[in-house]
Amino acid sequence: MINRVLLVERDRLMLEKLTQVVQGTRGFELVARYQSISDALGQGAIFNPNLILLDIEKQNSVALIADFLKVYPKASILCMGEKWQAESASHIVKAGARGYIIKPFTGVELQEAVDTFAKMGSESGCETLVFFSPKGKSGKTTLIANLAVALARKTHEQVGIIDADLQFGDMAVFFNLAPKSTIVEAARDAKFLSPITLHSYYMPVTQNVSVLCGTETPNLSDKVSIRRLENIISMSRSLFRYLLIDVPPGFNPTSIAAAEKSNTTFLVSMINDAYEIDHTKRALEIFKDWEDYNERVKAIFTRVEPCNSQSQQNLANKLGYPVTAIIPNEYGIVSDAADNGKMASDIRPDSPLARSVDRLADEITGRGHRIRWEKS
Ligand SMILES: Nc1ncnc2c1ncn2[C@@H]1O[C@H](COP(=O)(O)OP(=O)(O)O)[C@@H](O)[C@H]1O
Ligand SMILES: [Mg+2]
């Protein structure tokens, strides 16, 4: 489909610059351009644009978008500004724009913006899932990697992983990636990025799964400030339908900041000795500060033997809190898969581990509930 572009830009020089970019980009046709908003609203409709590039710098963007949607109900609106701000970006998406691009941009960036925004949902439609563990070695990285692949396979939606286990993140190893860029570069550049440009810091794993890899060495972790991390999470929310975040074990500024940004925080513990229940209980206590913690905090145990509903119920009884998922003890499959840079669920789709992960994916996408509650 050809993009019939209506360009609205107050600044004369910028308008010239962007005109050349649009005209020079394949698949884009400039059908009209205006410096004045009232002209664009009053005269542009006869050109039947399907993509509006709208300067919102120093304007009431929400009102502006509403005006354009009224006149151009079928067109996609991409807002343009000089720098990305999390707050304004979520406002404009709520107001009905497809997304935001930083100007001036190149033809490649324009193309990428249109492709990305066509593929993904809006920020408000992103489920942000944080995986918290009271202690290290909880099986959470294994779970996140397998779950991301399962979510993408089931929904065909875009799934992102942020490895924010800043000192000892190993998501890259898990997926056999040699990242060209990591969370360190993303944090360094965050101020100048829009979601579209942030996307290029993610490494693709499959068609629908990408990873923002962790630091290459532990000493780099202090290069990622909490504010930048929050910024990266906010921006990433407009890139993916599901965003899975791996955080360092225990309560620390990073894990807390990520959990605060989540729709759901999973408390993940691996069954090893008798203490997991106790640790999870104590972690639950801390999350009770959240008013909505009953819906927002979910418990998961890994390496559960035997992995059946009876065990799940027993764990829930001991914990005094529902247990959302249990993952079986399958060291062989997990480590074979990791050696191959593949997911356990891909190597052995019928294994108990893959099925447990699938069930959790159903729970997250709402299919689990539907299966259970829907009559017929
Ligand atoms: N379900 C499982 N059954 C058996 N071993 C597992 C399982 N999940 C993970 N492991 C193993 O436990 C270790 C820690 O797993 P990992 O996912 O890296 O945990 P974390 O990210 O919490 O440190 C790894 O050696 C991994 O192979
Ligand atoms: Mg880990």
Nearest to 245 by CA among 200, 217, 282, 214: 214
Residue nearest to atom 8 of ligand 1 (CA): 139
pLDDT digits (tens, 9 = 90+) for 68-105: 999 999 899 999 988 776 666 667 877 888 888 889 99
Give the Å distances, CA to CA, from 242 to 159, 160, 263, 296, 361. 5, 6, 10, 15, 11
CA of 249 to the centre of ligand 1 (A): 13
> Sheet containing 264-270: which strands, arranged edge to edge?
203-204, 209-212, 159-163, 242-246, 127-132, 264-270, 297-304, 323-328
CA distances, 19 to each of 34, 37, 55, 202, 296 (Å): 11, 16, 13, 30, 47
* Ligand 1 mean position, distance from CA 250 (Å): 16
Which pLDDT tens digit goes with each residue over 334-353?
A: 877 777 767 766 777 888 99
CA of 152 to the centre of ligand 1 (A): 22
| Atom 21 of ligand 1, nearest CA residue | 141
Helices (H) and strands (E) in the chain, counts: 18, 13
Tell me: the pLDDT tens digits for 171-219? 998 888 999 899 999 999 887 777 777 888 999 999 899 999 999 888 8
Provide the 3-class DSSP secondary structure of residue 144: helix
Contact partners, residue 373, CB within 8 Å, separation at least 6: none
Residue 315 token pair: 């764990």
Mean residue pLDDT of the chain comes to 89
* Dihedral sign computed on CA atoms, order 199, 204, 207, 208: negative
pLDDT of residue 370: 41
Domains parsed from the chain with CATH numbers: 3-119 (3.40.50.2300), 124-373 (3.40.50.300)
What integer pLDDT is reported at residue 331 of this predicted model? Answer: 84
The number of residues making up the chain comes to 376
Among 135, 137, 143, 359, the mutation site with the greatest number of ligand 1 atoms within 8 A of its Cβ is 137
Kindly state if the Cβ of 334 falls inside 6 Å of ligand 1: yes
Say which ligand is closest to the CA of 163.
Answer: 2
